[in-house]
Structure 1
């Protein structure tokens, strides 16, 4: 079997940031890496779950809402994949930065956090999510499209 693209990235040298993972026609997958691979502590599931709810909600309520395809966690618990359609890398990076900023400043209820809306609505960690988002934003805020390539 062929090795998939994400397994061909050197995780020994990968740092937290945003990277273009792959481009499939008009869909671009971004690797939003919160944690340096293989360096615990990793993101706990409740923290990732809360970030997923926040980021998905804010990005799908942005001016780019119709271009957002998917936002979801990596199994290794070091970050998330974000898929968008027909967006420049400049616009996608702007959306990511703006969305993380809004997420880290969110107050109130976690969006979609009822039994009717979520299949595991009791497993969230709001404070942990805000802490992780703040750390990530500090790494993210000064990135440019030149930083979107894997080393």
Structure 2
């Protein structure tokens, strides 16, 4: 089998940031998949499962409710390696195109003080496994990268 594109990225050199993972065409529609890398792979601890679960609920809620971007959101969810998330948006987009959106989302998560959306037994298959305080801490830490990104935070290492 052919190796998928995300496995060809040098994870030993990958920094935290927002990266275009792939672009797919479906008829006239282009979907851009973004790698929202919150942790440096293999160099720092991965996201704690309850924090990642909470970020998933909050991030999906924020993105799908966004007045300009909500109707272009296809997916927001965690990476299996727990170093970040994938966001799939309609359009031929760059990391710079979504930097403000992703920064706003993580600022919203970092300051969130209400009940976690979708975190009841009727709404979630693992509703007890959340950690809002840790999700906020991780979001705040990631904002340090998003507020002043370098090229290494917006483009995969070559």
TM-score interval (norm. to shorter): over 0.9
Whether 2:15 is the aligned partner of 1:20: answer no
In the alignment, the residues of structure 1 paired with residue 146 and residue 99 of structure 2 have an alpha-carbon distance, to the nearest angstrom, of 9
Q: Any stretches of 5+ residues in structure 1 without a counterpart?
A: none
1:97 offset after TM fit, Å? 1.2
Instruction: Give the alignment of 1:89-100 within 5 angstroms.
Output: 89=94, 90-100=96-106
Q: 1:118 aligns with which of 104, 114, 124?
A: 124
CA distance in 1, matches of 2:101, 2:151: 12
Aligned to 1:142: 148
Distance verdict in 2 for CA 1:131–1:119, change over 3 Å:
same
Q: Per-residue displacement from partner, 1:80-119 (whole Å, max 9, x unpaired)? A: 1111002643442221111111111111111111111111
- 2:110 corresponds in structure 1 to 104
Q: Is the 8 A contact 1:60 1:68 kept in 2?
A: yes
Distance 1:87 1:96 in 2: 16
Partner of 1:42: 46
**Stretches of 4+ aligned residues off by more than 6 angstroms:** none
Separation (CA, whole Å) in 2 of partners of 1:145 and 1:88: 16
Is the contact made by 1:67 and 1:87 (CA closer than 8 Å) also made in structure 2? no
Give the CA RMSD over aligned residues.
1.6
2:63 matched residue in structure 1:
59
- Correspondence 1:4-19 to 2 at 5 A: 4-19=4-19
Distance 1:66 1:21, change over 3 A: same
Bigger drift between 81-90 and 140-149 goes to 140-149
TM-score (norm 1): 0.94
- Is the 2:59–2:109 contact (alpha carbons within 8 Å) kept by the matching residues of 1? yes
Matched with 1:75 is: 80
**Equivalent residue, structure 1, for 2:3:** 3
